[in-house]
Amino acid sequence: MKQISQEKLDHIVKESMPFTRTGKVATYIPELSKANADALGIWIYDVNGETIHAGDVDTRFTIQSVSKVVTLIYALEAYGEEVFTRIGVEQTADAFNSIIKLETRNNGKPLNPLINAGAIATTSFIIEKEGKDGFIKLSNFLRKLAQNESIAVNMSVYESEQRTGDTNRALAYFQKGVKTFSASVEDVLETYFKTCSLEVQAKDLAQIARVIANNGLNPETDEQLFSAQTARMTKAIMSTCGMYDSSGHFALHVGIPSKSGVGGGIMSVVPGKFGIGIIGPALDDKGNSAAGVELLSRLSKEYSLSIFG
């Protein structure tokens, strides 16, 4: 990887490390509270397959909301823009698990597919079309994008989410109550929780991001895993909605299409160039990796990676 040097990447990670102390690990899912708050790592793949990494990249974590990007890609490829009859594409100013806009706007239609309500709606669409096989197909698709057949559900995290996921149940039941979807709420949430509980490493996120950066083409096998149109829409939605209610601030200061998760992961796409995976379990008050955002900000400024020039 010619553009980003190992020495500079090591330095940026070291400079960003103190920001782990400005965040806290997620506790609303009890199993996530066991994460190492001091961990920080980054893995980068370029579209030609070269790789560079630094920090705690061996750390395993559950993918959580980063999976929403894969769910969206899968649904768009399988069913096209019909998906957007159920979900909007607008940014939210509310928390990722907020229910407010479901009642006050769009008759129960979530604002975008990268918040909890929107991902539940996308998942319901898949379950209505494919039944319980939806999770098998969705998780197999994620493994193919990551080029890692060993990715599996962390059952402790899944069971923890099932026990404590009442807010997500409220989001799902409200949508079903206003007839946004017709599938079984428990079937939808089983798939949603299991998908969020898939255990990955930073390199897996970087691999997925690299395919998005390359417009759906796996550069190693030359297989078109999804269309360039799906990639374009996905990058646009990641740019405007991927970092929850700090997406605008992130676009201004980092400018890289990204998606975060409360497991501490961030998946970032530099179109035509890189896929980036980050792990940093200590979260800021928006639910994004505190040190991970700092790391991306420094990396973007150092190498002029913002898509906005």
pLDDT along the chain (309 residues), means of 10: 85 98 94 96 94 97 98 96 88 67 73 92 94 93 97 97 93 91 94 98 98 94 96 96 91 96 97 97 96 98 94
Instruction: Decide if 262 is catalytic.
Output: yes
Instruction: Decide if 65 is catalytic.
Output: yes
Instruction: Decide if 192 is catalytic.
Output: yes
The closest alpha carbon to 89, from 208, 211, 222, 232, belongs to 232
Residue 41 in 3-state DSSP? strand
Dist CA 231 CA 55 (whole Å): 29
Of these residues, 57, 157, 192, 258, which one is catalytic?
Answer: 192
CB 40 within 8 A of CB 279: yes
- In the structure encoding, which two tokens stand for residue 39, read together? 């961990």
Q: 288 — alpha (psi -120 to 50), left (phi > 0) or beta?
A: beta
Of these residues, 45, 74, 158, 244, which one is catalytic?
Answer: 244
- CATH class (in words) of the domain with range 6-61+200-303: alpha beta
Instruction: Decide if 74 is catalytic.
Output: no
pLDDT for residue 213: 98
- In the structure encoding, which two tokens stand for residue 30, read together? 């009890």
Whole-model pTM?
0.95
- The answer as to CATH 3.40.710.10 being correct for domain 65-196 is yes
CATH 3.40.710.10 maps onto the chain at 6-61+200-303, 65-196
Dist CA 11 CA 3 (whole Å): 15
Dist CA 271 CA 68 (whole Å): 19
Of these residues, 47, 70, 262, 270, which one is catalytic?
Answer: 262
CB 173 within 8 A of CB 31: no
pLDDT for residue 104: 63
Of these residues, 13, 66, 68, 160, which one is catalytic?
Answer: 68
Of these residues, 65, 98, 124, 247, which one is catalytic?
Answer: 65
DSSP H helix total and E strand total for the chain: 12, 9
Q: How far apart are the first and last CA of the chain?
A: 21
Instruction: Decide if 268 is catalytic.
Output: no
